Structure 1
Amino acid sequence: MSEARTTKSRAKSAKGETGTQAAATTTAERPRLRDAERTSKAILAAATKEFAERGYGGARVDAIAERAKINKRMLYHYFGGKDALYVAVLEGSYVAIRSAEARLDLSHRDPKDGMRELVVFTWKYFLDHPEFLGILSTENMHKARFLKRSARIFALHSPLVAEISGLLDRGAAAGDFRPDCDPVKIYMSIAALGSFFLTNRWTLSTIFQRNLSDKSEIDAWGEHIVDVIFAYLRP
């Protein structure tokens, strides 16, 4: 074989080896990326439970690491420390509920159906995610000191306000809702009626001698929220 052919053959072989190595590197990176994502999710889930149950002051990094089944050094590697982790938990909590709300597709719903769906969804979300109310309670005790550090939080809520505003405008145009309703006040009313019941049901049950944790009471309160909101919206 001539020297030129030998050189060309070696070049092809080297190119083939380089391509194989690159493919092997990419394949090796995928499990690492998946492991990193799983670890990050495990830390956030553990931190959410810890902060919801013990508040910011009572939560411990050691306890979060133990819940996530990792060592503390790895937690610091992913999130940098307790403050940054707490902000990530706050953001993650809001991302979760706003993402779920987006799937309601309120922009394309009949106004009355869409409003009822939003009320029912919010009530059920609070029931299914008590940690969300726990995190919010903790942050309100701190007067939103940590939430103000988030660069994402304001953008997360704009689509929800716009969708509620659209429901109200379409409902008013159809004669189903009163005009000039404030979308933020409507959402605050929905959230307040649900969260107050759930965060105070133990004392309320004792005071009024009614088991507000009973399924019939919970279902009835959900319908009560719908009735109150629609009574206000009625033209």
Structure 2
Amino acid sequence: MKVRLLIALTLCLGVVTETALAQVGSLGSSSSLTDKIEKTSKPEARPQPAPADSEEMEAPQRRTPRSRSRRGRTSPDESKTPVEMKPADAATVEPDALDRTDAKLVAEACLVAYQKPDFDALSRLSTGGNQDLFDELAKAGEDHPRYESITSGFRWESVSKWKRTDPLTVRYRGANTAVVEFGASRDESFVVMLEWENDQWCFEDINSPSRDAFRELPRQRE
């Protein structure tokens, strides 16, 4: 009887022991899973860089000013070089300072004034019949009814293309008319017409005779 009771107690103790061990194992696995969740949910701490030694921390360097001789700038020596001056504009020559007996000089002054256009200068260079017109143009400018016709058409185009380096050729038609060629096309000559008034050459018009007609004019004034 005692033997049976002892066996029964032993079996009971075995069952209790296995149950306890099972509970302990279950808690352990739960704790491990929690650790995994915490590891996956929290970012891994990145290693912080080691602070630099005080010797390696240098103050920012100041920019060294560039020499003024770089990138086209002049150095102190170069700045002393005199600047090349452009020649003065010949259009500033006053009509009263011209030799009005020289047909070529007068024609050149007329072309320069026409290109600007400087109607005041053209008035002083013109014949008596043209002076009033250019005086009115000088005062009214673009509002004058003749302004557009004076600054357009073959006259304006031919004068605008003229350069002071282009040669001027003088011919005469009688004693009181000078015809000064300043340009030409294939068939036409572009000329300044001058009239002799009050012992001087005066501007009359811009004309375009045929080249043959211009060549037939005499070179000498009669």
TM range (shorter): under 0.3
Q: TM-score, normalised by structure 1?
A: 0.23
Q: TM-score, normalised by structure 2?
A: 0.24
Identify, as 1 or 2, the structure richer in strand: 2
- Structure number with larger C-alpha Rg: 2
Q: Which has the higher contact order (CA 8 A, sep 6+)?
A: 1
